[in-house]
Chain A
Amino acid sequence: MPLVVAKDLAKSYGKVIAVDGLDLTLDEGFVTGLIGPNGAGKTTTIKMTLGLLKPDRGYVEVFGQDPWDNTAIRSLIGVIYEKAFFPPHQKTLDYLKRVCRVFGVHESRALEVLELVNLEDASDRAIKALSAGMLQKFAIAHALIHRPKLVIADEMTANLDPQARSALLDLVLQLNKNEKVTFLLSSHILPELSRVCDSMAIINEGKVWAYGKLTELYEKYAVGIVRISTDNPEALASEIKKLNYIEELEIDPKGISVRVFEGKEEILYEDVPKLARKVKAKILGIETGSASLEELYRLVVGTKERK
């Protein structure tokens, strides 16, 4: 059952088009990543999904309902904003107890969620006295207090140290597995998303450029990648670039990463040794590679831009 359905969603700020005909369906039980460059429309999409902004065109439904000023669905959604703000002069545990009362949850849940994010030691501290990382943890605790079915997070791991990030990603996986919580996570940190997401929406220029299960996206976009290890990558790369079936080429510390047109991998395998001999480069290894999420993102954006 889809929890979020967005159809032809559009939103502009004056002359700036933030979202332009975006379609997205978020299925129950998935951890979906929302990735895209700055200004792609991720935050605006999230805000319309949460009923904070009204679309100029199209519609979005959450749990089958319009999210604008809809109190019925708010008990089902947990929200984590990029910058979290709470009444600054209240103490963390006191405020969370207040939120428990707002949602009709037993007050013992307040300490429970603080422990979940390792913030129990700060239970007596005023919210304004929390560090940026602690405030982000507090926001996560706040979002989970009413055991939501859907968690929507915009840059959830911002301000967190590596250890806290890792713990949080484990928590996402645990909640998804044990309590069937669906997540929509917007982030720029792609390795983190690749660790927890099973589906991905790549958004750019206010539209979804690619969406689906990660395995399907890799099958569709990340084919024809060959990695070549060599002692002279610059010289060899300049020769490989001249081949007419090369779609994309990149030099990285590990060597050369080449993407060829469909079905041309074997021809590349034959051509590379010849070109290496020509430039006197030594081939250390050559293999058909799998793409990282970052590469997948670049491939999708590259493919779409060429179109």
Chain B
Amino acid sequence: MTNKELILSVENLTKVFGGVVAVDNVSFAINKGEIFAVIGPNGAGKTTLFNMITGVLPSSSGNVYFQGKRLTRKKPYQIAQAGITRTFQNLEVFDNMTVVENVMTGAHITMKTNILTAGLRLPTVVKEEVRTMERALQCLKDVGIADFAYEMSDKLPYGSQRLLEIARAAISKPQLILLDEPMAGLNAEESRQLVEVILKMRAEGMTFLFVEHDMETVMSISDRLVVVDNGVKIGEGTPEEIYKNPKVVAAYLGDDEAEEGVSYA
């Protein structure tokens, strides 16, 4: 790996719920411009891992560093302000707003308007609003749903709502976008469209971390990935390397003998 710039590093991250170790000492590092995936069977601890990185859940031990700064114990909104945004597995669009307002809300951290300047609607506020709306419309164009800009967001088809979440996550020009099972619930056409958007944004320099259990997509678009099973990292590497990893094959195919090396909590 040449001239790689480290962007996110997860070090010995652990989460214990009561007596159950959901995530056990997982470490990995993501470079700038990569599409990095975390995969694993259902219940492997992917979502828990994801929630710890985004600050939704506090970790029991271990650390997350983003561009050299420690994110551990930061609140979700502070993590967003640091430059990490995300999408949700079970869509979380703002269904009380139009599509374009959703994306404009994504630009929240890039704007300066405060309650006083907003109330007085100073010229700077109007200028900022116009500029933000322009950018939001562009983001909608980028993901291909500009036609819906003025619809209420809950009227959009499922696949378009996911694209909307990506536009909302991208407008603030974050350093890293986390995608939580982006393919869940999408049909083949919608998946293809989504993959296209992700690849295009990566070509423009965006870094992605995503959690997914649909192996096919993961293998086709990710540069590197880690595999977790029962909260433990059982493999890391390029898709080709992962295909050859006996532990991974065992976890997915359920081969008892090959699983011996895996420690259970």
Q: Do A and B actually bind?
A: no
Where the two chains meet, the residues of A that have a C-beta atom closer than 8 Å to any C-beta of B are: none
